[in-house]
Amino acid sequence: MAQADIVLHWYPMSPFAQKLAWVLNYKNIDYKVVQISPVEPRPLRRPLDGGYRKTPILQIGNHVYCDTKRIIDELEKRYPQPSIYPKLKSGESTTALAKSIAVWLESMLFGAVSQQFDVALLPEKFKKDRDGFLGRKFGGGSPYLKLDLLAQLAQAEELLGDKPYVLDTPSLSLVDLSLAKNTFFLSNVCGPDFVEGKAPKLARHMQRIFAEAKMSRTEEMPKVKAEQALEIAQNQYQPFDGQEQSILTELKVGQDVVVLPLDTGKVPSTGILRSLTQDEIVIEHKTEKITALIHFPSVGFIATPAPKSNL
């Protein structure tokens, strides 16, 4: 069967979307790009994501992968070389180690940087959107929160030390991509001088990762409209070919479920459960023309029975 088109749905300011683009570029994968609005509503994305509102998503034909944890796992499976989990010098795998350190980088360090936004500089529409996304007031945190940021930056500088890659691997790993993504975000929020002054090792590391992950290659990828992405999903249908199973006795394959992230952007995705394992939750989301198979990671997500309709 022909390989379906790969489509990155992103906006370039999104650090998580940048990290995903770097993985695609590092692995020399060809893909198409849909530039989405940085705020809701995004009605043309809904048939693909079933409700999930975070950025990025990666579409492969009618299969849609949500959250960079699940997306990157899929890319590593389909395109194992070059791996973003190179072995340690001892020969041991870095997969679990890298994923565990990435959790700190993606939650605590990323969160500390987010608190530094100068909300006075941001458009009202954007602030309102992000208040809803977070379920609390966005940015503009206490100036005293800088202490938490500086402490975490010092920890990251110490973790990196003078090595080219955080885990001292022969080539970059997921940890380097997650760290560079945070440095990129910090640079956008606090400015390059702040990064250079407070985290010079991270600044140099980021430049190296940008070059190795071929950051600018994304500009060479064909741009498509959201409508074309929907046509791809419609015309390149591939059924779910994994095992239909549920490891939770509370949920059965074939039942209507809602899937939610546990942290932010808690907007439900709805569909029929196809599979629920320790690696992923897969739902089938049908609209008039499209049957999307939507894949979420099991870490950080919850699937529950869909509430009964009042009709």
Ligand X SMILES: N[C@@H](CCC(=O)N[C@@H](CS)C(=O)NCC(=O)O)C(=O)O
Residues that bind ligand X (CB under 6 A): 14-16, 53-55, 67-69, 133, 265
Question: Which C-beta is closer to ligand X: that of 54 or that of 246?
Answer: 54
What are the DSSP E strand ranges found in the chain?
A: 6-10, 32-35, 57-60, 63-66, 256-261, 269-276, 280-286, 291-297, 301-305
Closest separation in Å from C-beta 91 to ligand X:
29
- Which stretches within 54-145 are classed as H helix? 68-78, 95-104, 110-114, 124-134
| Least distance between ligand X and beta carbon 55 (Å) | 3
Smallest separation, CB 291 to ligand X (Å): 23
Residue placing its CB nearer to ligand X in the complex, 68 or 116: 68
Contacts of residue 30, defined as CB under 8 A and 6 or more positions apart, other chains included, come to: 6, 221
Cα-Cα-Cα-Cα dihedral of 43, 125, 52, 239, to 10°?
30
Q: How far apart are the two ends of the chain, measured CA to CA in Å?
A: 42
Q: Which is nearer to ligand X, 27 or 246 (CB)?
A: 27
- For the bound state, the minimum distance from the C-beta of residue 252 to ligand X, rounded and expressed in Å, comes to 27
Structure tokens at 236: 């390149």
Q: Are strands 256-261 and 32-35 parallel, antiparallel or unpaired?
A: unpaired
Tell me how far, at minimum, the Cβ of 83 lies from ligand X, in Å: 19
**Which CB, 54 or 285, lies closer to ligand X?**
54
**Pick 49 or 212: Cβ nearer ligand X:** 49
79 or 126: whose CB is closer to ligand X? 126
Query: CA-CA distance, 76 to 195, in Å (whole number)?
Result: 31
What's 246's DSSP letter? B
- Residue 65 dihedral angles phi and psi, to the nearest 5°: -110, 130
Least distance from ligand X to the Cβ atom of residue 99, Å = 12
